[in-house]
Amino acid sequence: MSEMAIPFAVLPRGANTRIEPVAPLADADRKPLTKKEVSADHPTWCPGCGDFSVLALYFKLIEKRRMHHEKITTVAGIGCSSRFPYFVQAHGAHYIHGRALPFASGVALSRPDLHVFVFGGDGDAFSIGGNHFTHTARKNVKLTYVVMDNNVYGLTKNQTSPTSPIGFKSKTDVWGSKDRPINPIKQAICAGATFVGRTTATNPNHVLAMMEQAMDHDGFSFVQVLSECVEFYPGAFDNANPRKGGAFAEVPKEHDVTDEYAAYRLAENLWPGHFGVFYKVQRPTKNANEAQIVTDAQAKVAGLEPWQILKKNFDRMK
């Protein structure tokens, strides 16, 4: 008989948690969370960074949709934009570079009561985390992924990113980048994302609308937000900003968001391209598929305690 050094035990709350009774809070008593209540650290972003806008609109979304404080779940990887969870006064996880999506998938699949928001940048999403982007999209894990795309590596101070345009001069391509950039919208469509939206940080109402629609989508929702890096790529998105002489072209009204090929064609030119929902279809989510597997499996062991289910297996191994 093997001996166990650490026996079975019910684990109480840790000594780092105060557990004196907390008065219940009825839904009716909840007020919309103010910006003050949901903001935490002051953002470390440079003045003028497009990411401020995305953060402000996340707060707006929380307020508008009357999200419950404890249910706000914010996950990020590494990068300037990935500092996001520190600025939100809510449960947050700042994970490793490029792996925010699988981390968030673990949360989403084990905690169906939460809607996870993942924030990150173009390096996190399309370079180091490229594989995860593809697979999370194809599996249609229910969560929202907001990529603040600035076409440059900012945190590490000006290297070429996977979305930097050809000719972009950075510290790693002083003569101008030669590699074909990734087209995030096409990438998302091809990978099987069921909601693909595009917006720009300079149009707050549109950012909010995209995030709201993404949150309401039952499946993997992806939003590309053009978010200017004023330090290393100033003016990158001026051509999408009417105030800077550019044009903010919305996705044409007649565009069929369920037409994969039309969406792909619409994403052909993203300089500056269109803004809005490119693609939106309903496909069973990973979460729903797994839940069905669980329902089917549990029907076969209905009424049994976990130890009794295990005992059945052990009985077969005698």
Partner 1 sequence: MSDAAVATSAGGQPTVSKISEAVIRIAGNSQDGIQAIGGFLARLAGRSEQEVMTFMTIPSTISGGPSIFQVRIGSGEVLSSGDEADMLLAFYDHSYFNHLGSLKNGGIVLYDSDHLKAEAIPAENLARYRHIGVPISALTIEAIGGTGRDKGKNVFALGLLARMFDLNVDKLHRLLQERFTGKDPKIAETALNAFNAGYHYTLATATELYQFKPGENVGQAQVVMSGNEALAYGLIAAGVRFGSGYPITPWSDIMELLRRELPKYGGTFQQAEDEIAAVSMAMGASWGGRVAVTGSSGPGISLKTEAIGWASMAEMPLIVVDVQRGGPSTGMPTNIEQSDINIACFGGHGDSPRVVIAPANVEDCFYCAIEAVNVARKFSTPVILLTDQGIATRIEAFREPDLQKIVQDISPDLSPVSEHKPYDLSAPDGITRHIAPGTRVASGKYPVVTGLEHDELGHPTGSPKLHVQMTAKRRNKLKKLAAEIPTPTVYGPAEGQVLLVSWGSAQGPCQEAVKIARANGEAFSSIHIKYINPLPNGLEKIFEAFRHVFVVELNDEGLYGIGQFGSILRARFADPRIRGINKSDGLTWKISEILSRARALTQHSTNV
Name which of residues 50 to 89 contact partner 1 (CB under 8 A): 68-71, 73, 75, 85-86, 89
- Stretch near partner 1 under the rule CB under 8 A, chosen from 105-113, 165-173, 189-197, 277-285: 105-113
What's the first-to-final CA gap in the chain, in angstroms? Answer: 17
- Stretch near partner 1 under the rule CB under 8 A, chosen from 100-108, 175-183, 187-195, 243-251: 100-108
Residues sharing a CB contact under 8 Å with residue 53, sequence separation 6 or more, in sequence order: 201, 202, 204, 207, 227
**Does residue 99 touch partner 1 according to CB under 8 A?**
yes
Cα angle vertex 145, ends 143, 150, to 5°? Answer: 175
**Does residue 15 touch partner 1 according to CB under 8 A?**
yes
**Does residue 238 touch partner 1 according to CB under 8 A?**
no
**Does residue 191 touch partner 1 according to CB under 8 A?**
no
In Å, how far from its chain's centre is CA 23? 33
Shortest Å distance, C-beta 5 to partner 1: 5
Residue bearing tokens 């009774």: 21
* Residue 172 half-sphere exposure toward CB, CA atoms < 13 A: 13
In Å, how far from its chain's centre is CA 261? 25
Shortest Å distance, C-beta 313 to partner 1: 7
**Does residue 35 touch partner 1 according to CB under 8 A?**
no
Return d(Cα 172, Cα 82) in angstroms, integer: 22
- Stretch near partner 1 under the rule CB under 8 A, chosen from 94-102, 167-175, 210-218, 240-248: 94-102
- Rg of the chain (C-alpha set): 22
Backbone angles phi, psi at 224, to 5 degrees: -90, 125
Shortest Å distance, C-beta 192 to partner 1: 13
**Does residue 215 touch partner 1 according to CB under 8 A?**
no
Return d(Cα 122, Cα 162) in angstroms, integer: 7
Closest CB to partner 1 among residues 107, 148? 107
Find the helix packing angle between 100-110 and 286-299, rounded to 10°. Answer: 40
**Does residue 34 touch partner 1 according to CB under 8 A?**
no
Burial group, residue 292, by CB count within 10 angstroms (0-12, 13-18, 19+): exposed
Shortest Å distance, C-beta 89 to partner 1: 6
- Nearest residue to 185 (alpha-carbon basis) of 114, 125, 240, 247: 125
Name which of residues 241 to 260 contact partner 1 (CB under 8 A): none
Shortest Å distance, C-beta 277 to partner 1: 26
x/- track of binding to partner 1 for residues 127-166 (CB under 8 A): ----xx-xx-------------------------------
- Judged by CB under 8 A, the number of residues near partner 1 is 78
Do the beta carbons of residue 200 and residue 229 sit within 8 Å?
no
**Does residue 314 touch partner 1 according to CB under 8 A?**
yes
Name which of residues 269 to 308 contact partner 1 (CB under 8 A): 290, 293-294, 296-298, 300-301, 305-307
